[in-house]
Structure 1
Amino acid sequence: DRGMHVEAEDVLRMLRDTSEKARQELNEIRESLRMKQGGFSLFKSNRNVRRAVFLGMLLQGMQQFTGMNIIMYYAPQIFKMAGFKSTQEQMIATVIVGLTFMFATFIAVFTVDKAGRKPILKIGFSVMAFATLVLGYCLMKAGQGEISHGLSWVSVGMTMLCIGGYAMSAAPVVWILCSEIQPLKCRDFGITCSTTTNWVANMI
């Protein structure tokens, strides 16, 4: 339907910097819809396709093995170990963590196309590594019964910093990359493999 194509281009024009980029993306979408998917047969026969699929799986595995889901799932227990004993204190801290995740995601939304995928991932993983190390030290002190009130707040700050680093980088950018690196003829198969890897790694 010609009218729908015009409407789609209008929407893309609002989202992209120039009309040329909008038309280019619309043409890519049309091409992907017309193209027959090769799936597993193309994966077996084409070395470049295999590399793209395995890279997508590796990225999703890296995303999950940052340990972020453990922090998100067990945030109340982490705060309890850090010295926040009451349920109310733990839940307030958990809400703050959730808000941190939401606002940090906007950093990626507004910078991913301008700064590039790799720089954002490098910054995000560096932030997560630093915050996780400091958080681990705080929780070690908590396990030894030596945590002070100041270290309790440091642990909360490091938890939020770690989540912020994840939300601005690995959380959204990995999904973007897993879509972009797959060849059009094998995109469905590649994304299926990377998404499956994500959930298997999550379960592990």
Structure 2
Amino acid sequence: MSKKGLLILIASVAALGGLLFGYDTGIINGTQYYFSKYFELSAAMKGWVVSSALLGCLVGALIAGPMTTKIGRKLTLIVSALLFTISAAGSGLPSFLPESISLLVTFRVIGGLAIGLASMAAPTYIAEISPKDKRGVLVTFYQLAVVTGFFVVFLATYYIGESYSSEQGKIDEGWRWMFWSELIPCIIFLVLTLFIPKSPRWLLLVGRDEEAKKVLDSLHEGVEADRELAEIKQSLAKERKIEKTNINIFQKGAFAIIIIGSLLSLFQQFTGINAVLYYGGDIFEKALGYTQDDVLAQQILLGAVNFTFTFVAMFTVDKLGRKPLIMIGSFGMLLGFILLGGSLYFEQVGLISLIGVLLFIASFAMSMGPVTWVLLSEMFPNKIRSIAMSIAVAIQWAGNYLVSQSFPIIADSEHNEVVWNKSLPYVIFGICIIILIIFTKKYIIETKGRSLEELEDIWAEKYGEIKS
């Protein structure tokens, strides 16, 4: 196999962590309708079961940085694969045991830990094995794998659901087979990660220079391997110098940038994306009046739109720019919820409602989904990048938890049913999107075509220099 082919293969194996991220996150959409009926869950308890995994995600994301440094990127990926496997195997077990909802929550939290670890380790690993001229394309494998996971799990849950002749069969045991379907990609990921090389950057970080050189030689051409080795060593020397510098993150320049990045992360969740992805079955069945047979089919359409429009972002983010994409996508998301919420409020549910949902998904997939991550990776100055990124990602998971926990409570409330004709959640999300548009226009700086050093100067001019 050529070095280029080997590089693509290894990056694809690491990107399976992203596919499991999407699969594990999306599987709750296909299963929650059925296990909610099986356990006879209240709206609040349903929100807790669905959102409990996000607590694991938060913890996983917080420990991923120290863990990837301590034991390496490869071993962290192996640990995440093991946790994914345990979660997938265990999530179906409560159907064998009486009223063991706490066991399901436990295994969902374990899956969340795996997601948190993979969301940090997989893109980091891919970036560190890639030559700089191919790094952008190869790292997008991860984001593509995430949306692929969403699409594949919707197909899996649809065909598993179709194998049962009655809805009661799905409620009694179908949902556990939906969870167990994840074991297939879990085991593939676990086995393949055993054979990928360790990250050359991590090997240099822990003083294993010869091993790092062998890995780089196996993946890059001779001159490129030597150049990459020298650049990694130079980068590590700079980072060690930064680590020794005591930075006060509450000083004006640093604090302003962290707040802006954190709010961008929070607004990504407050658009309502995960309410739609997690509770799509409820939205189609309760709000839009689809039957359960229709619901699983509609989820495939939802996943296909999400998958397709991620490519739009991949091919336009370096052409149109980050800020224009967010603005275009935000107006599209707002229009989608106006169509959905309006059709519900005026009791004109039908094709227009479905178009509204799909327009929202398409607009998010081409904007706030991938572009938020691009901006977060570019906007923070070197001096505070590590801690600022950790704070922003932690706040994003916290926002995800808040939306996931509160959505079923608001959706099932009497006020939403009687006063708002089931449209209240989409009115709230619409208001958040309007605030996002204003926030983006006023505070987000376009990063396209600008070096990190240029961006540091721009931030310093607006909010003050970050002092050591």
The two structures have a TM-score, normalised by structure 1, of 0.79
Query: Is the Cα–Cα contact under 8 Å of residues 249 and 384 in structure 2 kept in the other structure?
Result: no
CA spacing shift, 1:69–1:118, aligned 2, 3 Å:
same
Q: Structure 1: give runs of 5+ residues left out of the alignment.
A: 1-6, 18-25
User: Which residue is 1:23 aligned to?
Assistant: none
User: Percent of aligned pairs with the same residue?
Assistant: 30
SS of 1:114's partner is coil
CA spacing shift, 1:120–1:56, aligned 2, 3 Å:
same
CA spacing shift, 1:131–1:16, aligned 2, 3 Å:
closer
User: Which residue is 2:288 aligned to?
Assistant: 82
Shift of 1:183: 1.0
1:97 aligns with 2:302: yes
Q: Structure 2: give runs of 5+ residues left out of the alignment.
A: 1-6, 8-127, 138-227, 403-468
Shift of 1:191: 0.5
Aligned residue identity for 2:308: F
Aligned residue identity for 1:133: I
Q: Supply the distance in 2 between the matched residues of 1:157 and 1:29 (Cα, whole angstroms).
A: 48
Which residue of the other structure, out of 392, 400, 403, is the alignment partner of 1:202? 400
CA deviations 1:49-105 (Å, max 9, x no partner) are 222211110100111111111111111121122121x21101110111011111111
1:93-132 equivalences in 2 (<5 Å) = 93-132=298-337
SS of 1:184's partner is coil
1:54 aligns with 2:259: yes
Aligned residue identity for 1:175: W
Which residue of the other structure, out of 375, 378, 388, is the alignment partner of 1:177? 375
CA spacing shift, 1:68–1:16, aligned 2, 3 Å:
closer
1:18-29 equivalences in 2 (<5 Å) = none
1:69 aligns with 2:267: no
CA spacing shift, 1:188–1:137, aligned 2, 3 Å:
same
Query: Is the Cα–Cα contact under 8 Å of residues 284 and 295 in structure 2 kept in the other structure?
Result: yes
Aligned residue identity for 2:351: W
CA spacing shift, 1:16–1:54, aligned 2, 3 Å:
closer
Q: Supply the distance in 1 between the matched residues of 2:235 and 2:336 (Cα, whole angstroms).
A: 41
User: Which residue is 1:20 aligned to?
Assistant: none
1:12 aligns with 2:132: yes
- Please give the root-mean-square deviation of Cα atoms over the aligned residues, in Å: 2.8
Query: Is the Cα–Cα contact under 8 Å of residues 39 and 186 in structure 1 kept in the other structure?
Result: no
CA spacing shift, 1:30–1:108, aligned 2, 3 Å:
farther
The two structures have a TM-score, normalised by structure 2, of 0.36
Q: Which shifted more, 116-125 or 171-180?
A: 171-180
Q: Supply the distance in 2 between the matched residues of 1:160 and 1:39 (Cα, whole angstroms).
A: 49
Aligned residue identity for 1:76: G
Structure with the greater alpha carbon radius of gyration: 2
Q: Supply the distance in 1 between the matched residues of 2:266 and 2:301 (Cα, whole angstroms).
A: 27
Aligned residues: 183
Shift of 1:115: 0.6
